[in-house]
Amino acid sequence: MIAFGPVPSRRLGRSLGINNIPPKICTFACVYCQLGRTLKMQVERCAFYRPEEVVSAVRDKVEKATASGESIDYLTFVPDGEPTLDANLGREIELLKPLGIKIAVITNSSLIWRADVREDLMGADWVSLKIDAAQEDVWRRIDRPHGSLRLGAVLDGMLEFAKDYTGELVTETMLARDVNDGADHVREVAEFLARLAPARAYLSIPTRPPAEPRVGAPKEEAINRAYQILGDRVDHVEYLIGYEGNAFAFTGNVEDDLLSITSVHPMREDAVRAFLARAGAAWPVVRSLIDRDQLVETEYDGHRFYVRKLRASR
Ligand code: SF4
């Protein structure tokens, strides 16, 4: 199916997905990929569907959604593979513009060293770039890129793109336990992000079964540490871990509110205490969430932090 949804997305509101690539054709074979193993690895861009076919599928979905009173905030290129492999991406974005809905692309950044890919992405209103590694060997272990790709060229392409791009640029970093979650490596990612200066840097962890069963989510301590390291170099860092429904929703229920805040970012002990005071609640609320395994207490840099229990129980 070329168009699907709209589905709720924490980053994009109500997003209508565009699947412009046949299943699992990708430039990477990430160890954590939740779509299973890459079926076909390629780096050459090619035409998979006629642009008119893509646009007509999207228009059809938009009309149906509108008729049933559903709103759409973004048309999002988020295929089961890498969207920039589609040689028609730029043309499709151009043809979709008259629908008057903002356009987003979620890419693994692998082909951004190419001028034509950067040019295509320029047409989108919102672009998410993947940056899982800042060291070539770590990159090869986590994203398992096509052998012809080079991390240095990809990182340079990202900086080149960011220099001219006027839309909203965000990044996404997936952390996998003992693969790319070490403090030194995360510091290098943070240094790169400081140069890229995205509007927001998202941190995610595998929460669904990954392509390689041995791949696990980092411990809460490592997730919090990565958050703090990135937060020192980038203005806005957030977790992106799937609690789509209630993030930022202040319900007036102290437990729910603590869980929704900590699903987006860790809270320092003093912030938790201030929050409880405002809500007229006391520390046993926190203790009870910890006892029920919904909140985790961890330390970083001499401070105590509270983070939502993030790891999938597998
Ligand atoms: S880039 Fe995305 S689709 Fe491709 S292997 Fe990695 S996670 Fe899967």
* pLDDT tens, N- to C-terminus, the chain (314 residues): 899 888 888 899 999 999 999 888 999 999 998 887 777 899 999 999 999 999 999 999 999 999 988 899 999 999 889 999 999 999 999 999 999 999 999 999 999 999 999 999 999 999 999 999 999 999 999 999 999 999 999 999 999 999 999 999 999 999 999 999 999 999 999 999 999 999 999 999 887 777 788 888 899 899 999 999 999 999 999 988 754 444 444 567 899 888 878 877 888 999 999 989 888 899 999 999 999 999 999 888 788 999 888 655 33
- Residue written as token pair 């008057």: 100
Distance (Å) from CA 85 to ligand 1 centroid: 12
Cα separation, 301 vs 225, whole angstroms: 9
Whether ligand 1 lies within 6 angstroms of the CB of 33 is answered as yes
For residue 299, count other CB atoms closer than 10 A to its CB: 12
Closest residue to atom 6 of ligand 1, CA basis:
30
Whether ligand 1 lies within 6 angstroms of the CB of 21 is answered as no
Whether ligand 1 lies within 6 angstroms of the CB of 19 is answered as no
Distance (Å) from CA 253 to ligand 1 centroid: 37
Q: How far is CA 169 from the centre of its chain?
A: 12
Q: What is the pLDDT of residues 53-98, one digit of tens each?
A: 999 999 999 999 999 888 999 999 998 899 999 999 999 999 999 9
- Least Cα distance to 190 among 126, 133, 141 occurs for 133
- Predicted local confidence at residue 107, as pLDDT: 98
Residue whose CB lies within 8 A of the most ligand 1 atoms, among 143, 154, 173, 180, for a mutation test:
143
Structure tokens at 61: 């979905």
Torsion sign over Cα 290, 204, 31, 221: negative
